Amino acid sequence: MGNQKDRLLRGTALNGKVRAFAVRTTDLVEELRQRHDTFPVVTAALGRTVSAAAMMGAMLKGDERLSIQVRGDGPIGLIAAESNANGEVRGYVKNPHVELTNIRPGKMDVAAAVGTTGHIDVIKDFGLKEPYRGSVPIISGELAEDFTYYFAVSEQTNSAVSLGVLVSPDYSVANAGGFIIQLLPGVTEDEIKELELALSKIPPITEMLEEGLELEDILKRVVSDVTILEEMDVYFSCDCSHERVERALISLGQEELEQMIEEDGKAEVSCHFCNEKYRFDKEQLKSVLERAKS
């Protein structure tokens, strides 16, 4: 809506017994749509995944990084998203051109595109030797329920997850975002009942964003006493570079590089995450080969 921009809120409620996140990712998802030329149902699936990634990134600290891989048996194939604690997010899908008929106008069958069996992997890089890995089976394919299940099973945290992407008739992103409400130890049965009641009454996240509701107001509809602890920008960012791609080429090894130089005399490598293309001519490939030898 209007001059609102993508941002993320982290808050607390019920005397610290609840933590809450809300995010608007409209511009981010639109940028991903344009970079990867995603069809509407794919825009929705990727947009939901990166919205979850953005909020889960806000659960990290410092230089920690998060990677989500949704591996369903639907036509999209892999959905990948990465984020960090600074609001930087990127993502891609294996098959951006999936066409599915709508369930009803404006309501897309995301589960049919993602698949209803498979698994979701969450990898958190804390800068330690071994990253944290959590994996849960896909239980719905609509993704919000799947992340709810992930938090319950893999992180032992009961949560309410809402994710949504509204695609315009011209296929651009009208709005996108989500929220996560997490119950921490000490929350009472009555408080849970009250939260569940509030959650059952609120409209879908895309509807609230479309009405122009601020993220604070959206969180207040679920937990009225929410206090905002942090607010940050959320945006697309990819850290690929010519140098990084060069290092990837070096790692292919001498033999493969020699073959590349002989057969094609050039190479074009695109970054999965941002679709940026990196070109190497024969001379550049030769210098890559020299570095591979040393």
Segment interacting with Zn ion (CB under 5 A) among 3-11, 47-55, 112-120, 231-239: 231-239
The per-residue DSSP string of the chain comes to: -TT---EEEEEEEGGGTEEEEEEE-HHHHHHHHHHHT--HHHHHHHHHHHHHHHHHHTTS-TT-EEEEEEEESSTT-EEEEEEETTSEEEEEES--------SBTTB--HHHHH-SSEEEEEEEE-SSSS-EEEEEE-SSSSSHHHHHHHHHHHS---EEEEEEEEE-TTSSEEEEEEEEEEE-TT--HHHHHHHHHHHHHSPPHHHHHHTT--HHHHHHHH-TT-EEEEEEE-EE-----HHHHHHHHHTT-HHHHHHHHHHTS-EEEE-TTT--EEEE-HHHHHHHHHHHH-
Give the residue with the Cβ less far from Zn ion, 81 or 167.
81
Give the residue with the Cβ less far from Zn ion, 252 or 269.
269
Among 273, 278, 280, 289, binds Zn ion (CB under 5 A): 273
Q: Is 80 in the site for Zn ion (CB under 5 A)?
A: no
Segment interacting with Zn ion (CB under 5 A) among 71-79, 139-147, 178-186, 239-247: 239-247
Residue 103 beta carbon to Zn ion: minimum distance, rounded to whole angstroms: 34
Give the residue with the Cβ less far from Zn ion, 45 or 271.
271
Q: Is 236 in the site for Zn ion (CB under 5 A)?
A: no
Q: Binding residues for Zn ion, how many (CB under 5 A)?
A: 6
Among 58, 238, 260, 267, binds Zn ion (CB under 5 A): 238
CB contact set of 264 (below 8 Å; sequence gap of 6+)? none
Q: Is 81 in the site for Zn ion (CB under 5 A)?
A: no
Report yes or no: 162 and 7 within 8 Å, Cβ to Cβ: no
Segment interacting with Zn ion (CB under 5 A) among 36-44, 49-57, 162-170, 263-271: 263-271
Among 114, 271, 285, 289, binds Zn ion (CB under 5 A): 271
Segment interacting with Zn ion (CB under 5 A) among 56-64, 68-76, 79-87, 273-281: 273-281
Q: Is 208 in the site for Zn ion (CB under 5 A)?
A: no
Residue 39 beta carbon to Zn ion: minimum distance, rounded to whole angstroms: 21
Residue 238 beta carbon to Zn ion: minimum distance, rounded to whole angstroms: 3
Q: Is 179 in the site for Zn ion (CB under 5 A)?
A: no
Report the interface residues with Zn ion, using CB under 5 A.
238, 240, 271, 273-274, 276
